[in-house]
Structure 1
Amino acid sequence: MMLAIRTSLNNKIMKKTLILFSILAPAFAFGQITILDTDLPIIGDTIPRQQDTLTISTEGPSGANQIWDFSNATAHVLNNTAILDPSATPYSSNFSGSNMAMSNDGASYVYLSSYTDSFITDGAAGDLLGTGEILKALFKPSLTLNKYPTAYGNNYQDTYGFDVSADGSFFSILLDSIRLKHSATVYDTVDGWGTTITPTGSYNSLRVKRVEYSIDSIWTLPVFGFPPAWAYLDAFTDTTTTFTWLAKEGKLAIAELNFDSLDNPNVLTWSLMPASPIALFSYTDNGSGGFSFSDISENGPSSWAWDFGDGNTSNLQNPSNQYTADSTYYICLTVTNSAGSDTFCDSVVVTGVTNNPPPIANFSYVDNGGGNVTFTDLSLNSPNSWTWNFDDGNTSTQANPTHQYLADNTYVVCLTVINGNGSDSYCDSIVIMGTSTILAPIASFSWIDNGGGYATFTDLSSNAPTSWAWDFGDGNTSNQQHPNNIYTIQDSTYNVCLTATNSAGSDSYCDSVFIVDTIIALPVRESISNSFNISFNPNPASEKTTIQFSDNYLATNIDLCLFNAMGQKVFQENLRNQPGGNFEIDLIQLKAGVYFYYLKETGSDKAGSGKLLIE
């Protein structure tokens, strides 16, 4: 019975207290690290921690630059350690000198005193035995957990003790009370530094070895004793060892390994506080001064800040950059998450910069939920052609498409972009979840002008709309999914709107539609008698371009027609020259694409034709 009494009292009380304060040592950073009182948790924090109660992990080696890998630990018990103001706990009057309290269950509490030079445990109170009886174990003397500053190689010792009584009937009907007197000496040594890997992440850490030598004496108070007097029962000595791994972002220890009575590891505890990110990147030289950068940082950063060394920056995870001059550039990436930030820099040598670089493919995406994803082209160097492969059998040639996935999966999406100087491809994986969720539609459509005022419209809405409402901008409407419309007034621009609806909601999308009068054969030939020697500057053009005549020819009045790639006339205007004999054309109303021009001088048979590219 003596062993059972001693084991039950001591183990239960110490588990309730040591499970908290044995992990209170604060954290460290890199190699030559120092901890201060400012690294401790503060009132209001909650520190989640998991326990593997069947661990087969060992403590590993001591020393510098070690790796302690607990990534294979299995979660059995979750504890959420609340950091409290002692005044918010029921036993604060017994610990008037404490300025912090901690609890895992809201039923028992450890009381502490935090100072600039030390961190001290004053004791514990509450249902320490799990029997419903309230016990108050005041440490006399208190236990110093840490002295500040401290670092790798430091060591210290301290003594503490407590004297606590409990209801004896829990152990025997013949006992009124049972009493445990505990005294101990603790030796702490910071015996290693390196990297600790847990299922949460990788931490730059220190390891603390704690050895405790204790003496426990058991006293009993019989039910029928007279006069009542405590009777000495027995005394025991014990030695226990605990290893604790400390990291700055953990606030409490990020890992702790306890041992059973046979010195075999039996419980591994680790923190769920996220690890600070470790910045790292790689890059690809695409040639002609174009570079693609890939974030390979560890510990889940949530934001990225790139400095490419040429004045350009980016907040994308995997950006691209076009350098405009050969040189050596110093690139820096700063990554951040809720636990902290880190920066990594590397130099790149840029050669072969050209004024006409090929495109550098890149894109971002937004998961709209329910399998619906919006993709945004971020390619550099003005691509004019896009080919998307969504890895589910579907493709798109839009610059910024929206795609609906029908099954949860991981998809590798690839974008290939082209300009007049070459092509490039970029792929990224996306994880799709929740495709069974019904989402409101995202309206979109395309249209074709068939000539003669006849237009065909195609619904491109995502998220499976069940009804459609079209407004063709001329007073006509339709409820068909893919309608047609005949415009009676041609060579005009109409604002066409589609509202798509399903059981989850509706959405509207509008676009300007330019209707020409008819389809005509292109009067474009390789050579024309009495032809002009002309050029468009610039070509490619965006908003404006200028017709220039060579050989000092001075034209005063010309008729110009532009035709799209389908042979539809989309622009016709009589132009008069400006000073210098040139004609300026406003292209703002035309979409990007390839056009064919035909111009003829008014009152003569001189004419010219060719191609005009609008970006």
Structure 2
Amino acid sequence: MKRMLLAAFSALCLSASAQITITNATFPVAGDTLVYSVDNNPVGINPATAPGTDQVWMFGSLTEDAVESTVFSAANTGMHSIEFPGAELVIKNIAGESYFNVTSSQFEALGFAGTDPNGFGLDVNIHYTPSLLERWSPMMFLDLKNITSSLSMVFPTDQPPLDAFFAGLPVNVDSMRIRRTTARQNVVNAWGTCQIPGGSYPVLRNKQTDYITTALDLHAEPIPGFGYFWVDATNFIPPGSGGGLGDLIGTDTVVTYKFLSGTEKEEIASAQMNNDQTMVANVRYKKLATTDAADLTAPGTASISAFPNPAIDWVRFDYVNLPSDEYTLKIFNIIGKEVWKETYQLTGTDHFRVELDKFKKGTYLYSLANKKGNVIGTKRLVVLKP
């Protein structure tokens, strides 16, 4: 019995040691440039697995549709820095400037100055009240962080494009105010390993849910001569009406799964779900060189491919330029669950065959890695059945 208890205790200790803790060493500082690849049509991945431990998220099939670079500069280099006292960092782009505060325990957004995000083409100066939490330290498995932050934007109604709409109202309106509240819920509900094109990392997964509620006020004079005051126009401009103003009103729910490492400043991957949270809308992931470490010792590029593909009864895996080593081929279903694996001693250029009699019809991912875990390739396999 003692031996069994000791073994169980040892297993628990080993499991706990596999979890990572993310510190403020991953917070950005002035001079940092974070570079991401973006897949706008991801398939064959499942970031929304059930909460739990020691998971594997296989995102090696992601493709690069675009590249995003985020440059952090000292806040005092921004044109609007005086309007954001306490800011330490600024991101500058064609739309404007975003300001951030960094402490030993928090990285938070203070606000934005530039062209308004609603598409009116007018300049705004937005301040989050309180600041909107982006990252915290230390971040650990089972952390919960909730915050509600508000902002407001005031626009004169005598300038295009708003003048055309408000000119026809039966009451005088000299300005419009958009109020937006973000209720952000963070729950670190899983840890494990996240594989992306070019590498894999131990990560924590943070499920971030934003409930974004937008309301509209008019600074109006309902009765001439009795003065102007703010009137909540939400009930008077239903969604889809008001020359597009109604489309701003209401509550949107945005769910994003963020995979964070303890060594990299970039998110390893950030997967945003669609409106009903049934599909992945897009994935932003750390941009890496996709040449595998095995290629450094191979007389050419190491690779793996499947033929025929789609396959019915069997599939042949052709490998090229593999250094002599022990390799493991894993096959995952569409939601990222491992359904098959086998280990081989491989070298050079050759092939091996896998029978598919136990596979169901569907789309799979196959991944070949060497003994050190370096991934040679992850690709799609389609299985057909008569």
The bucket for the TM-score relative to the shorter chain is: 0.5 to 0.7
Q: More relative contact order in 1 or in 2 (CA 8 Å, sep 6+)? A: 2
Per-residue deviation at 1:270? 1.0
Does the 8 Å contact 1:250/1:273 carry over to 2? Answer: no
Are 1:84 and 2:82 matched, yes or no? no
- Counterpart in 1 of 2:180? 182
- Counterpart in 1 of 2:101? 113
Are 1:268 and 2:255 matched, yes or no? no
Per-residue deviation at 1:163? 0.9
Gaps of 5+ in 2: 1-16, 167-173, 235-248, 301-319, 324-346, 350-386
Counterpart mapping for 1:190-339 below 5 A: 190-221=188-219, 227-234=227-234, 236-263=250-277, 264-273=279-288, 300=293
Distance 1:225 1:86, change over 3 A: farther
Counterpart mapping for 1:559-574 below 5 A: none
Are 1:125 and 2:109 matched, yes or no? no
For 1:412 and 1:142, locate their aligned partners in 2 and report how far apart those are by CA, in whole Å.
51
Code of the residue aligned with 2:268 in structure 1: it is I
Distance 1:428 1:215, change over 3 A: closer
Per-residue deviation at 1:120? 1.9
For 1:412 and 1:197, locate their aligned partners in 2 and report how far apart those are by CA, in whole Å.
20
Instruction: Determine helix, strand or coil for the equivalent of 1:242.
Output: strand
For 1:215 and 1:231, locate their aligned partners in 2 and report how far apart those are by CA, in whole Å.
17
- 1:181-221 C-alpha deviation (Å, 9 max, x unpaired): 11232221111111112224212111101122343211235
Distance 1:75 1:170, change over 3 A: farther
Code of the residue aligned with 1:120 in structure 2: it is E
Per-residue deviation at 1:225? 9.2
- Counterpart in 2 of 1:97? 86
Distance 1:34 1:189, change over 3 A: same
Per-residue deviation at 1:79? 1.2
Q: Matched residues, percent identical?
A: 21
For 2:22 and 2:142, locate their aligned partners in 1 and report how far apart those are by CA, in whole Å.
13
Question: What is the TM-score of this pair, normalised by structure 2?
Answer: 0.59
Per-residue deviation at 1:301? 8.7
For 2:46 and 2:155, locate their aligned partners in 1 and report how far apart those are by CA, in whole Å.
36
Code of the residue aligned with 1:258 in structure 2: it is Q
Match of 1:42 among 29, 51, 58: 29
Match of 1:156 among 125, 139, 145: 145
Instruction: Determine helix, strand or coil for the equivalent of 2:122.
Output: coil
Per-residue deviation at 1:250? 3.2
For 2:198 and 2:229, locate their aligned partners in 1 and report how far apart those are by CA, in whole Å.
53
- Counterpart in 1 of 2:54? 65
Per-residue deviation at 1:107? 3.2
Question: What is the TM-score of this pair, normalised by structure 1?
Answer: 0.38
Distance 1:163 1:36, change over 3 A: same
Instruction: Determine helix, strand or coil for the equivalent of 2:233.
Output: strand
Does the 8 Å contact 2:35/2:266 carry over to 1? Answer: no
Distance 1:124 1:65, change over 3 A: same
Does the 8 Å contact 1:249/1:273 carry over to 2? Answer: no
Distance 1:171 1:301, change over 3 A: farther
Per-residue deviation at 1:146? 3.3
Code of the residue aligned with 1:59 in structure 2: it is P
Distance 1:74 1:224, change over 3 A: farther
Per-residue deviation at 1:237? 3.3
Per-residue deviation at 1:238? 3.8
Q: 210-219 or 87-96, which moves further after superposition?
A: 210-219
Counterpart mapping for 1:403-482 below 5 A: none
- 1:426-466 C-alpha deviation (Å, 9 max, x unpaired): x989xxxxxxxxxxxxxxxxxxxxxxxxxxxxxxxxxxxxx
For 2:113 and 2:190, locate their aligned partners in 1 and report how far apart those are by CA, in whole Å.
34
Does the 8 Å contact 1:250/1:271 carry over to 2? Answer: no
Answer with 1 or 2: which has the greater Rg: 1
- 1:255-295 C-alpha deviation (Å, 9 max, x unpaired): 111123333421211121569xxxxxxxxxxxxxxxxxxxx
Distance 1:134 1:40, change over 3 A: same
Code of the residue aligned with 2:95 in structure 1: it is A
- Counterpart in 1 of 2:38? 51
Does the 8 Å contact 1:249/1:274 carry over to 2? Answer: no
Match of 1:173 among 164, 169, 185: 164
Code of the residue aligned with 1:246 in structure 2: it is L
Per-residue deviation at 1:119? 2.0
Code of the residue aligned with 1:270 in structure 2: it is Y
Higher percent of residues as helix:
2
Instruction: Determine helix, strand or coil for the equivalent of 1:250.
Output: coil
Per-residue deviation at 1:94? 1.2
For 1:177 and 1:74, locate their aligned partners in 2 and report how far apart those are by CA, in whole Å.
45
Code of the residue aligned with 1:232 in structure 2: it is D
Are 1:145 and 2:134 matched, yes or no? yes
Distance 1:112 1:69, change over 3 A: same
Per-residue deviation at 1:148? 2.1
Code of the residue aligned with 1:181 in structure 2: it is R
Instruction: Determine helix, strand or coil for the equivalent of 2:164.
Output: coil
Code of the residue aligned with 1:97 in structure 2: it is G
Distance 1:251 1:167, change over 3 A: farther
For 1:77 and 1:224, locate their aligned partners in 2 and report how far apart those are by CA, in whole Å.
50
Per-residue deviation at 1:166? 3.6
Instruction: Determine helix, strand or coil for the equivalent of 1:231.
Output: strand
For 1:247 and 1:412, locate their aligned partners in 2 and report how far apart those are by CA, in whole Å.
29
For 2:102 and 2:128, locate their aligned partners in 1 and report how far apart those are by CA, in whole Å.
15
- 1:454-495 C-alpha deviation (Å, 9 max, x unpaired): xxxxxxxxxxxxxxxxxxxxxxxxxxxxxxxxxxxxxxxxxx
- Counterpart in 1 of 2:378? none
Distance 1:250 1:274, change over 3 A: farther
Does the 8 Å contact 2:19/2:192 carry over to 1? Answer: no
- 1:306-361 C-alpha deviation (Å, 9 max, x unpaired): xxxxxxxxxxx76xxxxxxxxxxxxxxxxxxxxxxxxxxxxxxxxxxxxxxxxxxx
For 1:49 and 1:160, locate their aligned partners in 2 and report how far apart those are by CA, in whole Å.
27
Code of the residue aligned with 2:58 in structure 1: it is D
For 2:321 and 2:46, locate their aligned partners in 1 and report how far apart those are by CA, in whole Å.
39
